[in-house]
């Protein structure tokens, strides 16, 4: 079975308030994105890694790789205006016989156990996405009149990445036209009428989008 990891890294770092995109920020001595890529290579040494980057960030990434002697093999493709197009571009390097993981470049704390479990279930059932329980109370707020009411948090899950799919399924899903309702890869695949399978993620697998997130990641990495 061929294994692929599409790493989507199109952030600008605006919410971070930084001068460089968040995927390039320093985390324990090297860019966040390098930590993320290394997690997949450690989980599966034979995995094929495809990195989707904005065109105007490619030269900077090349410089960073040289500066940090980063030699993990990976292909780089041009990212699109939306995540959908970045994944679609990366899929040109994917063959039909395999499993593809799509992962956020700014989730460097995903565990190897989560990665392996998602691949295992996707191979067995066609797809798998990691989720964790909601621990806070939730309220639904109507956009029409502003009315709000409590909703049972047990009915909801927080979705993480990597989201894994048998490659033939993902390739078929990305033949569809873009829809703004596609918030992640599972929503693209689900549009085909496919049931999405949930697996337990790891709670520390946070998405680094703010300065506070970066501090939390630093602490979790010890």
Segments making up each domain of the chain, as ranges? 2-220
pLDDT in tens, 157-194: 999 999 999 999 999 999 999 999 999 999 999 999 99
What confidence tier does 14 reach under pLDDT thresholds 50, 70, 90? low
Q: Which of 215, 6, 204 lies closest to 104, judged by CA? A: 6
pLDDT at 96 (0 to 100): 80
The answer to whether residues 58 and 23 touch, using CB atoms and an 8 Å cutoff, is no
Rounded average pLDDT over 12-17: 52
What confidence tier does 20 reach under pLDDT thresholds 50, 70, 90? confident
pLDDT in tens, 30-59: 999 999 999 999 999 999 999 999 999 999
pLDDT at 11 (0 to 100): 58
pLDDT at 12 (0 to 100): 59
pTM exceeds cut of 0.75: yes
List the beta bridge partners of residue 76.
Answer: 51
**Which CATH fold topology does 2-220 show?**
Spore Coat Polysaccharide Biosynthesis Protein SpsA; Chain A (3.90.550)
Runs of H (alpha helix) within the chain: 32-43, 58-67, 83-90, 112-125, 167-173, 185-190, 211-220
Token pair of 107 as six digits: 């989730």
Rounded average pLDDT over 96-106: 95
What CA–CA distance (Å, rounded) separates 216 from 221?
9
Token pair of 24 as six digits: 């390039």
What CA–CA distance (Å, rounded) separates 30 from 36?
11
CA Rg value for the chain: 18
Query: What spatial distance separates the first Cα and last Cα of the chain, rounded to whole Å?
Result: 35
């Amino acid at each position: 079975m061929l294994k692929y990891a599409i790493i989507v890294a199109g952030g600008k770092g605006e919410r971070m308030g930084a001068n460089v995109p968040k995927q390039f920020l320093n985390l324990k001595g090297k860019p966040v994105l390098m930590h993320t890529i290394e997690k997949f290579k450690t989980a599966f040494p034979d995995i094929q890694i495809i990195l989707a980057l904005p065109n105007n960030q490619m030269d900077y990434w090349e410089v960073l790789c040289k500066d940090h002697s980063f030699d993990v093999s990976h292909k780089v493709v041009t990212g699109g205006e939306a995540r959908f197009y970045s994944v679609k571009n990366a899929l040109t390097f994917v063959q039909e016989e395999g499993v593809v993981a799509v992962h956020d470049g700014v989730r460097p704390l995903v565990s190897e156990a989560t990665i392996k479990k998602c691949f295992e279930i996707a191979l067995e059932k066609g797809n798998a996405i990691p989720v964790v329980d909601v621990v806070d109370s939730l309220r639904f707020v109507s956009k029409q009149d502003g009315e709000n009411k409590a909703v049972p948090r047990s009915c909801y899950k927080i979705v993480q990445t990597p989201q894994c799919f048998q490659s033939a399924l993902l390739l078929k899903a990305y033949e569809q036209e873009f829809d703004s309702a596609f918030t992640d890869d599972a929503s693209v695949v689900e549009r085909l009428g496919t049931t999405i399978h949930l697996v337990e993620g790891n709670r520390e697998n946070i998405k680094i989008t703010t300065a506070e997130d970066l501090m939390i990641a630093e602490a979790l990495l010890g």
